[in-house]
């Protein structure tokens, strides 16, 4: 059983002892700390926070605790009930709210849940803001409202529809072209909130939808992370239905994975690459992804005569870099598309609409589209270290060894070789170094990872 407190929120397994798992008391303390933080941001008479959740089994219980705690602090709550992460983000700005909370453990199994925290712009908190909330949690110095000042809770169940309407209004979403293409799509929503958001979007685009695991029961039929090994049922059904493609999302709908008409994975890394290819063909500008994302985004960006930038790992870091360089598209290699014309958050609804626009415009099959991009292969490993080891010194030694190469040190150490790269970064929660590599063959990526595992062990011994 686990409880992890970090600058991005609190997550853990349901049940067990306070302080060791995500128990009701932990949820209340963290919600109160967030409520206190909200009140430090702006002095005003009335505060409002939007709250939504994915379909996991513990969601109703956790959401009730969160909303009643905020009410107890005199903060009004807009209850979206079952929703998606990007929908909550959009709702925060539409409601002119002071913040938002999404109750989801993303791709983690059903025993997990989490509180993800948003600011008044519907964006994730930065490191400084997250640290402030953690400090409030430790202090437990909360000031609750008197009986006449309790916050009101209002239910609003139309925001998924409003979110879909906003997506359809985007200039680069070719609604008529998509309708004329008469696509047939299979959707695997892992029995969570993707089942009430992705199919309605597709139907508005005139797409024939075949639903797979689209009942939002929270009983995940497979590991909810949208990776090839977990999407075999989707691949099989795409072939059986002679569909044009398959779509898979994680429980809170901010990661988008695609399957081609042959039932083969398009590749999570290539979700962002293909969408960026389409956006850049219409509007020139910079692109951003994190240091552990594929080089393929840089390739397609330079093909369009534009400039690519890398950020530290984490959505908040990607967004900060996108704003800094005025990027027209960005995201993360895990299938997360961030399109500023909509909002600064990973959004599978936006990703689906832009991808189908690309497919309709080029009039080619998904497998043919994939062949237009350079194929890269990744290896993701980790090395466990003794708790007393100075990980920063180990990474500094690696950087010194490879100082003549193209090195980035904003988040661990990334070394860009001519034909491949390696990214080494320490975990914030355990004594390990994560090792990511990418090359033009799986063997090359695996061997590069093994090489750096050996070098790290030599330096740490």
**Location of structure tokens 């309605």:** 200
Q: Is-catalytic flag, 83?
A: no
- Apex CA 327: angle with CA 322 and CA 329, to 5°? 100
Distance between CA atoms of residues 294 and 287, nearest Å: 13
CB atoms within 10 A of CB 140: 9
CA 135 to chain centre: 25
CA 258 to chain centre: 15
CA 293 to chain centre: 13
CA 105 to chain centre: 11
Exactly one of 71, 83, 106, 342 is catalytic; which is it? 106
Distance between CA atoms of residues 51 and 43, nearest Å: 21
Distance between CA atoms of residues 122 and 300, nearest Å: 29
User: What strand order describes the sheet that includes 153-155?
Assistant: 3-6, 9-13, 112-118, 99-103, 47-53, 75-82, 153-155
CA trace torsion 334, 339, 342, 346 (10° rounding): 20
Catalytic residues, by residue number, are 106
């Amino acid at each position: 059983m686990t409880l992890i407190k970090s600058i991005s929120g609190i997550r853990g397994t349901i049940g067990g002892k306070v302080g060791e798992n995500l128990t009701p008391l932990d949820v209340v303390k963290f919600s109160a700390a967030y409520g206190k933080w909200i009140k430090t941001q702006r002095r005003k008479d009335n505060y409002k926070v939007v709250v939504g959740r994915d379909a996991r089994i513990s969601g109703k219980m956790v959401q009730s605790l969160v909303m009643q705690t905020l009410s107890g602090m005199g903060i009004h709550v807009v209850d979206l009930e079952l929703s998606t992460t990007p929908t909550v983000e959009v709702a925060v700005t539409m409601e002119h709210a002071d913040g938002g909370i999404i109750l989801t453990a993303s791709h983690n199994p059903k025993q997990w849940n989490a509180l993800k925290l948003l600011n008044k712009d519907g964006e994730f908190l930065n490191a400084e803001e997250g640290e402030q909330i953690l400090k409030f949690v430790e202090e437990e110095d909360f000031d609750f409202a008197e009986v006449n000042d309790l916050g009101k809770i209002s239910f609003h169940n139309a925001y998924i529809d409003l979110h879909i309407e906003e997506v359809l209004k985007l200039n680069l979403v070719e609604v008529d072209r998509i309708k004329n293409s008469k696509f047939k799509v299979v959707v695997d929503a892992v029995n969570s909130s993707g089942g009430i958001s992705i199919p309605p979007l597709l139907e508005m685009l005139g797409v024939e939808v075949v639903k797979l695991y689209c009942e939002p029961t929270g009983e995940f039929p497979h590991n909810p992370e949208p990776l090839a090994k977990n999407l075999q049922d989707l691949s099989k059904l795409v072939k059986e239905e002679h569909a044009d493609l398959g779509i898979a999302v994680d429980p809170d709908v901010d990661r988008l994975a695609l399957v081609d008409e042959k039932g083969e994975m398009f590749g999570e890394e290539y979700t962002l690459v293909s969408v960026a290819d389409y956006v850049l063909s219409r509007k020139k500008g910079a692109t951003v992804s994190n240091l552990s994302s594929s080089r393929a985004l840089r390739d397609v960006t330079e093909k369009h005569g534009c400039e690519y930038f890398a950020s530290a790992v984490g959505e908040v870091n990607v967004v900060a870099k996108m704003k800094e360089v005025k990027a027209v598209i960005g995201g993360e290699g895990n299938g997360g598309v961030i399109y500023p014309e909509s909002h600064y958050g990973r959004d599978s609804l936006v990703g689906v609409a832009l991808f189908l626009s690309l497919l309709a415009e080029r009039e080619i099959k998904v497998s043919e589209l994939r062949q237009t991009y350079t194929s890269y292969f990744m290896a993701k490993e980790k090395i466990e270290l003794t708790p007393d080891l100075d990980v920063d010194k180990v990474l500094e030694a690696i950087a010194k060894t490879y100082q003549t190469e193209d090195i980035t040190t904003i988040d661990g150490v990334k070394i860009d070789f001519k034909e491949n790269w390696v990214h080494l970064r320490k975990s914030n929660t355990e004594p390990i170094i994560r090792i990511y590599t990418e090359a033009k063959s799986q063997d090359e990526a695996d061997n590069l990872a093994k090489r750096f595992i050996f070098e790290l062990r030599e330096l740490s011994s």
